[in-house]
Amino acid sequence: MTADIAAILAIDGIATGAVYALVAIGTVLIFTVTRVIFIPFGDIAAFTALTLAALDAKQLPGTAGLVVVLACMACVMEVASLARARELRAVPKAVLGYLVLPLIVVGIVWLTMRFNPPMPVRIVLALLLIMPISPLLDRIVFRPIADASVLLLLTVSVALHFALVGLGLLFFGPEGVRTEPLTSMAIEIAGVHVSGQTVLILTAALVFSGLLFLFFDFTLIGKALRATALNRTGARLMGIRPARAGTVAYLLGSLMAGVSGILIAPVNTIFYDSGFLLGLKAFVGAIVGGMASYPGAALGAFGVGIIESFASFQSSTLKDVIVFSLLIPILLWRSLASQHSEEEVEE
Amino acid sequence: MTPQQIRLIIAAAIACLVAAPFVLNPFSITLLNYIGIYALAAIGLALLTGVGGIVSFGQAAFVGVAAYATAWVTALNGYSPWLGLVLAVILTCSIAAILGFVTLRLQGHFLSLSTVAWGLAIAFLFGNIDGLGQHNGISGIPPISIGPVALVESRQIYFLIWAIVAAVLLVCYNLLDSRIGRAMRALRGGNTLVESLGISAFQIKLVTFVIAAFLGALSGWLYAHLGRFVSPGPFEAGMGIEYLMMAMVGGAGSILGGVVGAAIVTLLKNSVQDYLPLIAKGASGQLEIVAFSALFILFLQRARQGIVPFLAGFLPDLKLSRPQPAAPLPRREQPPPGTLLLKVSEAQRRFGGLVAVNNVSFDVKSGEILGLIGPNGAGKTTMFNLLTGALRANSGEIAFAGRSITRDQQFHIARAGISRTFQHVKLRPRMTLLDNVLLGTYSRTSTGLLAGALRLNQAEEASARYEALQQLERVGLGDKPFELAGNLPLGNQRVLEIARALAADPTLLVLDEPAAGLRRQEKLRLAELLRSLRADHLTILLVEHDMEFVMSLVDRIVVLDFGSKLCEGEPAAIRSDARVQEAYLGGVA
């Protein structure tokens, strides 16, 4: 391997790593706030890419149907639980939040589509359409068992991933998509060709991580989220609703996953089930950060990207085996580093 | 229900299984064959996840390793399927042993995540190794032959599959009712208790893990020779969660649940394949996995207990007979009263900048009751954890019966003769009183895995059971040995912990706040019990808050304050010591 090839591989790896980093940060965000290891996150990224591709092809994306179905389910569940608790006054607000709002989003997409909007608008539409999915899934799947052990939540999360893969096939079909590049520019850095797409991916990763940092440090909601992550009971006593903090976390996380999906779609062909590997690799990065540290997760994700890039040069068929085998030493290191309490254990 | 009635039910079930292939159509028999094969993998998972508490997403990978191993031996190299079985089992168990050795020290969800990792990595290998047919798989696998008879038809292999399932069920039930099996059942709920009983939690986890892989290997071997074809698909991550679903739906704590779960999931899948096309034409394949995952999520939300335990709740209670007198278990030689038993010298333990135990020294002599007291934050619990090996001392020396135990692991210390109880009671609430106490006899008995699974060591088991009953009677809980421990009130749960500790035949009994949360009557009874134990020459060290309880009971007291020893002496002297009064009540204003 010459230095040139190494440089190309490294740049490639950094670009892939930046995509993983966005998803990894979202995974950490959701885990700290809700204790859910949200495996379906990669699916959200893949769905965003597929949604954008459908919009490019002037079709109503399957995501619209998915959002409508999930919104109806979430709304029914929320109203039923409010009715059981005899808090009927809260029903209009619940219907607004869980049903009307997602439907408005779908409506906007449906209307805007007819005017053949330009690329940037299509990207915004795709992100808009994808964002309600995770919060709605949270309401339907995780909220009823919010106090269960991390392990049970993980099992549910894995099952949810498979449900989403099936839905993905149903709504998007088996064809892979590759969207048009966002830019065709290219630059040279020290003699190495770097595509504009790579620059764009890196910029987006930096911008979104920066925005997240500002959000956490300078807004009240951001601080509430951090408080919930540190101590749910304590946050509750301070008037923060963990459920609402969870919704905000899922919305933010979906945005990060969505952006990563849009960034990767012009580089790799995305299928309905591409999200699993994307999510898991991001997740390896998140574990490097101990599922707690955002910079750690981002660094880990870059590491995974670079390793994958070099591994695929050595043996393209075995690159995934290499990446996942790496997870075991990382887990060992994290498990030994973390203090584990036995109180979590379910009898 | 009596044991005879249960035997009748089992006989009826076997008769049904034997008669099935003569009544059912070939399609139903094929379905039953697959149920049996999946059941084997699911039983392994029921042991690992339900009994041992280790949630694994990787069972499908083990099934796959075995299926590919036997396919390689038979289809590609032309040897007998029986050689394939040998290689499949050896390869699968070796891989499991290595993976387990590396990962089983991981805690909680980290461990489960590692199963996702290696499950995926192994599944990727099947499709990418050149010699294994890559994504096309391996076809032309020969049928299993027994003597001259080749098991080609599904009706023929049916008997082999279900004979194996029945044998596995029997062996697993025996195993869970044996010494190693009880240790496996105790894993769920944390390592601390397990280790305090002289059991190496890691070793038991490894054993459970390899057994689960072994059952997966049997399943994979049968799968390869039933379908006569293997490809990577059935061993991917999706199937891993399906096995988990089978084990959990059936009732993860129950072995029979593995079979019931496999049957329900397989039949459900079959009927979903029949009916979904009616609802959504052309999209049934996609909807199948959606419907399945949704059902599984609903199940995890609403009915985690599983079907078999739920149904078992409606059955009349099993009538078990009390353990009969048997040869006593060997007893430890107790040191003569008054000799030095435990010597703590200059023990220190720091947590970051905080010195929780600061150069504390004291002795315990055999035959006495020593009280370790001190205000909140004095370092009592840390001292206690140093003695029992739950924590390591940063410096200093702890010697028990003349041997240093400073660096020993918990289960080694327990085996040396120190038995403990817990401040927050640690019992296995779903095990009976007798089984909980039987856990205590682990270090005094020696029945191994195979002997337990095949019931080869019934004499020792009878002795252990009788010993456990005697300890229950000794503490006053002998009237209902088959009650579940979780049904006892707190006071009796503490007493049950003492019975369990006594069953280990300890030299030194260490009790962590045994009177906490007890009512006055219960405290009096507890003090009475401890006095009677002293009369039997047992040495007792107790950490306690309740002054009245301590003062009336113990021979000597060691007082800790802010991590250091304040003083030691007889109760009367401690009571009048000005420093103790200041530590407890504050200085005289």
> CB within 8 A of B201, min separation 6: which ones?
B187, B191, B194, B195, B411
Q: Which domain holds residue B106?
A: 26-312
Mean pLDDT of A50-67: 85
CA distance A247 to A262: 22
Q: Do A338 and B107 touch (CB under 8 A)?
A: yes
In tens, the pLDDT along A92-133 reads 888 888 888 889 888 888 888 888 888 888 888 889 889 999
Position A266 in a domain = yes
Tell which of B472, B505, B538 closes a domain. B505
Mean pLDDT of A58-85: 87
User: Smallest Cα–Cα separation from A33: which of A331, A238, A247, A211?
Assistant: A247
In this complex, the residue of A37, A152, A170 whose CB is nearest that of residue B300 is A152
Q: What is the CATH number of the domain that holds B390?
A: 3.40.50.300
Position A129 in a domain = yes
Q: Which domain holds residue A87?
A: 3-178+189-336
In A, minimum Cα distance to B283 occurs at: A170
Which of these ranges, A290-294, B5-9, B12-16, has the smallest mean pLDDT?
Answer: A290-294
Mean pLDDT of A158-167: 86
Can you say whether the dihedral through the CA atoms of A8, A11, A17, A22 is positive or negative?
negative
Number of domains in chain A: 1
User: Smallest Cα–Cα separation from A299: which of A312, A318, A286?
Assistant: A286
- B71 with B202, same domain: the answer is yes
Which positions in chain B touch A62 (Cβ < 8 Å)?
Answer: none
Q: Is B110's Cβ below 8 Å from some Cβ in A?
A: yes
- B55 with B118, same domain: the answer is yes
Which positions in chain B touch A347 (Cβ < 8 Å)?
Answer: 188-189, 428-430
Which positions in chain B touch A151 (Cβ < 8 Å)?
Answer: 55, 108-109, 112
In this complex, the residue of A156, A170, A318 whose CB is nearest that of residue B128 is A318
Element (H, E) at B566: strand B564-569
Q: How confident is the model at residue B215 (pLDDT cuts 50, 70, 90)?
A: very high
Q: Do B108 and A317 touch (CB under 8 A)?
A: no
Position B389 in a domain = yes
In tens, the pLDDT along B283-323 reads 556 677 788 788 888 888 887 778 888 888 788 777 778 88
Q: How confident is the model at residue A343 (pLDDT cuts 50, 70, 90)?
A: very low
CA distance B402 to B387: 14
Mean pLDDT of B569-584: 82
Q: Do B106 and A335 touch (CB under 8 A)?
A: yes
Mean pLDDT of A195-206: 82
Which of these ranges, A138-147, A177-186, B58-67, B335-344, has the smallest mean pLDDT?
Answer: A177-186
Q: Is B109's Cβ below 8 Å from some Cβ in A?
A: yes
Which positions in chain B touch A160 (Cβ < 8 Å)?
Answer: 293, 297
Q: Which residues pair with B395 in a beta bridge?
A: B348
Mean pLDDT of A28-36: 85
- B516 with B543, same domain: the answer is yes
CA distance A51 to A261: 10
Number of domains in chain B: 3
CA distance A10 to A194: 11
In tens, the pLDDT along B445-478 reads 888 888 888 888 888 888 888 999 988 988 888 8
Position B143 in a domain = yes
Looking at residue A191, what is its pLDDT? 66
Q: Is A340's Cβ below 8 Å from some Cβ in B?
A: yes
CA distance B471 to B444: 14
In B, minimum Cα distance to A170 occurs at: B286
Looking at residue B281, what is its pLDDT? 57
- B127 with B205, same domain: the answer is yes
- B200 with B284, same domain: the answer is yes
Is 70 exceeded by the pLDDT of residue A346?
no
In tens, the pLDDT along A258-313 reads 988 888 888 778 888 888 888 888 888 888 877 777 888 888 888 888 888 888 88
Q: Is A338's Cβ below 8 Å from some Cβ in B?
A: yes
Looking at residue A290, what is its pLDDT? 76
Mean pLDDT of B394-418: 88
Complex ipTM above 0.85? no
- B175 with B217, same domain: the answer is yes
Mean pLDDT of B497-521: 88
Contact yes or no for A19/A260 (Cβ under 8 A): yes
User: Smallest Cα–Cα separation from B227: which of B293, B163, B161, B291?
Assistant: B161
Which positions in chain B touch A156 (Cβ < 8 Å)?
Answer: 297, 300-301
Mean pLDDT of B248-257: 83
Position B582 in a domain = yes
Q: How confident is the model at residue B222 (pLDDT cuts 50, 70, 90)?
A: very high
User: Smallest Cα–Cα separation from A252: which of A289, A224, A231?
Assistant: A224
Q: How confident is the model at residue B221 (pLDDT cuts 50, 70, 90)?
A: very high
Q: Do B106 and A144 touch (CB under 8 A)?
A: no
Is 80 exceeded by the pLDDT of residue B533?
yes
Looking at residue A345, what is its pLDDT? 43
Q: Do A340 and B107 touch (CB under 8 A)?
A: yes
Looking at residue B248, what is its pLDDT? 85
CA distance B475 to B166: 40
Tell which of B452, B484, B505 closes a domain. B505
Q: How high is the mean pLDDT of chain B?
A: 86
Position B7 in a domain = no
Position A120 in a domain = yes
Q: How confident is the model at residue A338 (pLDDT cuts 50, 70, 90)?
A: low
Q: Is B429's Cβ below 8 Å from some Cβ in A?
A: yes
Position B450 in a domain = yes
Q: If 0-12 CB within 10 Å is exposed, 13-18 middle and 19+ buried, where does residue B330 land?
A: exposed
- B480 with B528, same domain: the answer is no
Q: Which of residues 286-305 of B touch A (CB under 8 A)?
A: 286-290, 292-294, 296-297, 300-301, 304
Cβ neighbours, 10 Å, residue B278: 8
CA distance A301 to A304: 5
CA distance A136 to A77: 11
Mean pLDDT of A328-338: 74
Looking at residue B276, what is its pLDDT? 67
Contact yes or no for B67/B135 (Cβ under 8 A): no
Specify the amino acid at residue A211.
L
Distance (Å) from the alpha carbon of A200 to chain B's nearest alpha carbon: 31
- B344 with B222, same domain: the answer is no
Q: How confident is the model at residue B236 (pLDDT cuts 50, 70, 90)?
A: confident
User: pTM, whole model, 2 decimals?
Assistant: 0.84
Looking at residue B209, what is its pLDDT? 94
CA distance A285 to A308: 12
Which positions in chain B touch A345 (Cβ < 8 Å)?
Answer: 53, 108, 188-190
Is 60 exceeded by the pLDDT of residue B588?
no
Mean pLDDT of B318-329: 81
Share of chain B above pLDDT 70, in %: 97
- B246 with B387, same domain: the answer is no
Q: Which of residues 158-197 of A touch B (CB under 8 A)?
A: 158-160, 162-163, 165-167, 169-170
Share of chain B above pLDDT 90, in %: 18
Specify the amino acid at residue B179.
R
Position A341 in a domain = no
Mean pLDDT of A177-187: 73
Is 60 exceeded by the pLDDT of residue B76?
yes
Counting one residue from A and one from B, how many pairs have CB atoms under 8 Å apart? Answer: 133
In A, minimum Cα distance to B297 occurs at: A156
Position A347 in a domain = no
In tens, the pLDDT along B62-72 reads 999 999 999 99
- B586 with B437, same domain: the answer is no
Mean pLDDT of B190-199: 86
Burial B468-504 (b: 16+ CB within 10 A, else e): bbbbbebbebbeebeebbeebeebbbbbbbbbbbbbb
In this complex, the residue of B53, B286, B429 whose CB is nearest that of residue A169 is B286
